A = this chain, B = another copy of it.
Amino acid sequence: MNARPHVTLEEVARSARVSLATASRVLNGTTNVRSDLRERVVSAASELAYTPNAHAQALAGGSQPTVGVICHDVSDPYFAGIARGVMRVAGDNGLLVMLASTFRDPHKEVAYVSMLRAQRASAILLIGSGFEDKGWEQAMAAELDPYRRGGGQVAVVSRHRSLKVDTVQPENREGAAALAKALLKLGHRRFAVLAGPRALTTVNDRLGGFSDELAAHGVELTEDDIVEAAFTRDGGYAAVQEMLTRQTEPTCVFAVTDVMAIGALTALREAGISVPGEMSLAGFDDVPVVRDLTPPLTTVSLPLEELGERAMDLAIKGARGGRSRILRLPGEVVLRGSTAAPKS
């Protein structure tokens, strides 16, 4: 109704009987201003509940205090953990975060980058696995390149390296390999893997690291041992059901993601298979809640918040001299109650 437009700097200046320039300077602390004038401006501003128009500021050359973050799904605890780190660093630096959730739709992802570009976000963070898809990569590059050429920062968590940007990489391959080694040491020889869609780089890396390490110890993983499913709790649940219909008789299941492992655990329980008594189960990520499962989940612990913090750091200190920087953060195998020696 009384959609009276926003209070402008000009009104403040008029009300304080100073010039626009002076008002601006007071509010930004750019230059010294005689104290009585400053006083007048400050009180006029607060009286009118003035807030600068960020768009005008941005247009006029002031830098833009917003960064964009694109993830697959805000409600996935893996992402949530990373986002937490991102938010903290952003908050500490007075940055506003624009968060977009793509629900794993590659088109949306590109579209969001475009919007962020329009917003002249000072940085864009891509979080979560990239897609192994030529077409997508090109479309993404077509947005990202002009963005960076225009001075935008890009940082990425856990992506394919073919996007030549600053990257924070959890060591998926190595982590999965270390997990495989630990599982072998427990005595397991027959494994099943619950994998997400192979189009995701993360899945590939973890799966590859795991099976290579197995192979190095003379244990082959066949296609039959690998169940592909959605990258979610329900995906894990369904994957176990699928697995149980197959001929394979694993003694240990590796879900490439904790979230999938959670679903798997429930499916196993409902099938009357005790964990770890009859079947060991391991995940990856060390999402907070897996500690509270029964049994607590063996997994590869990733410093989720730190991943986010580092990515944000890279984006902020965007001193991209030349090469794109890659920061590798290792995971650590954490053996908990969900794994044990196989029933002999």
Chain A residues near B (Cβ < 8 Å): 2-7, 49, 51-59, 64-66, 73-77, 80-81, 83-84, 87-88, 91, 96-101, 103, 108, 112, 114-120, 142-143, 145-146, 149-151, 233, 262-263, 265-266, 269, 288-289, 291-294
Number of copies of this chain that the complex holds: 2
Q: Contacts A5-B150, A150-B6 given: A101-B120 contact, CB under 8 Å?
A: no
CB distance from A152 to the nearest CB of B (A): 9
Q: Within the assembled complex, what's the spacing in Å between the Cα atoms of A64 and B81?
A: 30
Whether A96 lies near B98 (C-beta < 8 A) is: yes
Q: Within the assembled complex, what's the spacing in Å between the Cα atoms of A81 and B73?
A: 10
CB distance from A234 to the nearest CB of B (A): 10
> Which of B7, B52, B76, B117 is the one whose CB lies under 8 Å from A51?
B117
CB distance from A290 to the nearest CB of B (A): 9
Residues of B within 8 A of A115 (CB): 54, 65, 96
Q: Within the assembled complex, what's the spacing in Å between the Cα atoms of A143 and B53?
A: 14
Q: Within the assembled complex, what's the spacing in Å between the Cα atoms of A40 and B4?
A: 40
Residues of B within 8 A of A98 (CB): 66, 96-99
Residues of B within 8 A of A112 (CB): 96
Q: List 23 A-B contacts (CB under 8 A).
A: A49-B142, A49-B146, A52-B118, A53-B59, A55-B59, A55-B119, A57-B118, A66-B98, A75-B80, A75-B83, A75-B288, A77-B80, A88-B101, A91-B100, A91-B103, A91-B108, A96-B112, A97-B99, A97-B100, A98-B99, A262-B292, A265-B292, A266-B292
Q: Contacts A2-B149, A56-B59 given: A114-B75 contact, CB under 8 Å?
A: no
Identify which of A75, A77, A117 gathers the most chain B CB atoms within 10 Å of its CB.
Answer: A75
